[in-house]
Amino acid sequence: MQEVKKLEIINLCKEYDGEDFVIKNISFDVFDGEFLSILGSSGCGKTTVLRMLIGVLNPTSGKILKDGKDITEVHPSKRGMGIVFQNYALFENMTVFMNVAYALKIHKIPNYKEQTDDILRRLGLEELRDKKPAELSGGQQQRVAIARTMALKPDIILFDEPLSALDVSTRLLLRNEIKALQKESGITMIYVTHDQEEAFAMSDRIMVMKEGEIQQIASPEELVEKPANEFVKEFVIDNLQMKIDALAKYRRNS
């Protein structure tokens, strides 16, 4: 299933006003229907890559192809992609319903009300329909943000550390919901995170980044078995091992 290329990123570079490159000539493919995580510590450039993919940031050089077509210069709204941010970025003066319906209404979609209700139902938000974001919990707000991206029927959704602001139990719950949504809808998802565990739990493939460069892009199994370099081994494997060790230690003691 993973052999159809959805996105091709070719020699992508980003620099700011003569400073050093933030993104140093990276190339990778994203397959249709896959769940790809971009994993790295803060400042490694993972969010910058995401912003260039969605089109709110112009690359200094390089190309982005979607379904074989060059979309490097295409406006964000014409890329068929949605984005979900860590801090939700909801329209706070609008109800849950209007947050989702707003874009449809502006684009004069005739049956926008039915479409919106349909999306709300799929994400289990119909009860919150008339509430404002301030009345919702963090997890509920993030569900609304996901619902909002679904309005324009994207075939790719980008996530920028969407669960980092939530407590652990909500995080686990939403993790499963996002995964389920992907399975059900077949939407390609690109998921930026700094959390190794999250990346391993959710991804078909993981792309590890450091200082604007790709260290390795591989399935979780391959990462564990054949880490490409010392950094990947330390940052990914050792980190996970530490948690397991900690757990094991307490198990022994009890």
**188-193 vs 35-39, strand pairing mode:** parallel
Q: At closest approach, how far in Å is the CB of 39 from other proteins?
A: 19
Which residue number, 95 or 237, has a Cβ lying nearer to other proteins? Answer: 95
Which residue number, 78 or 251, has a Cβ lying nearer to other proteins? Answer: 78
Chain positions contacting other proteins, by CB under 8 A = 16, 47-48, 51, 54-58, 75-79, 81-83, 85, 87-94, 102-103, 106-107, 148-149, 151-152
Q: At closest approach, how far in Å is the CB of 150 from other proteins?
A: 11
Give dist(CA 23, CA 185) in Å, integer.
31
Q: At closest approach, how far in Å is the CB of 70 from other proteins?
A: 16
Which residue number, 166 or 236, has a Cβ lying nearer to other proteins? Answer: 166
Q: At closest approach, how far in Å is the CB of 89 from other proteins?
A: 4
Give dist(CA 39, CA 85) in Å, integer.
16
Query: CB-based contacts of 103: which residues, under 8 Å, 6+ apart?
Result: 148, 151, 152
Which residue number, 143 or 148, has a Cβ lying nearer to other proteins? Answer: 148
Which residue number, 106 or 244, has a Cβ lying nearer to other proteins? Answer: 106
Sign of the Cα torsion 71, 103, 132, 96 reads: negative
Q: How many helices (H) and strands (E) does the chain have?
A: 9, 10
Report in angstroms the alpha-carbon separations of 133 from 91, 94, 126, 150.
Answer: 8, 8, 14, 18
Q: At closest approach, how far in Å is the CB of 91 from other proteins?
A: 5
Q: At closest approach, how far in Å is the CB of 178 from other proteins?
A: 17
Which residue number, 30 or 100, has a Cβ lying nearer to other proteins? Answer: 100
Burial (CB count <10 Å: 0-12, 13-18, 19+), residue 199: buried
- Name the nearest CA neighbour of 9 among 23, 24, 30: 30
